[in-house]
Amino acid sequence: MIINKLAETGHDHADESMSFWDEVVSITFDPAHIVGEVFWQLVFDVVLVAFLYGVVFKKWLLPKLRKQIHTELDNEHGIEHHDDHIHIKGAKDHD
């Protein structure tokens, strides 16, 4: 298997008594490694996903795009918004 060959050639460790798979198991259940994984998962989920997508995209960028598109469509179709009603210019020309 290729991964075993790579593991044998790249396995320069002071304790040569551990095989590649033994080392994988020890890293997987190592408390320090688990805490590190949880930390980076929180950083990714909170900072990148929640902040960038949830705040920057959904609360800032998307409303601006939506308003711009809405204005362009209103201009294209001759719609004027007022406080309690709208006016459609040239409605007699449409079916």
The predicted-structure confidence for 50-86, as pLDDT tens digits, reads as follows 888 888 899 999 999 999 999 999 888 888 888 788 8
Between vectors from CA 65 to CA 59 and to CA 69, what angle results, nearest 5°?
A: 140
Residues 6+ apart with CB under 8 A from 86: 79, 80
- pLDDT interval class at 30 (50, 70, 90): very high
Higher pLDDT, 8 or 11: 8
pTM across the whole model? 0.46
Q: Determine the Cα–Cα distance for residues 12 and 6; give it in Å rounded to an integer.
A: 11
Is residue 14 within a helix (H) or strand (E), and if so which, with residue range? Answer: none
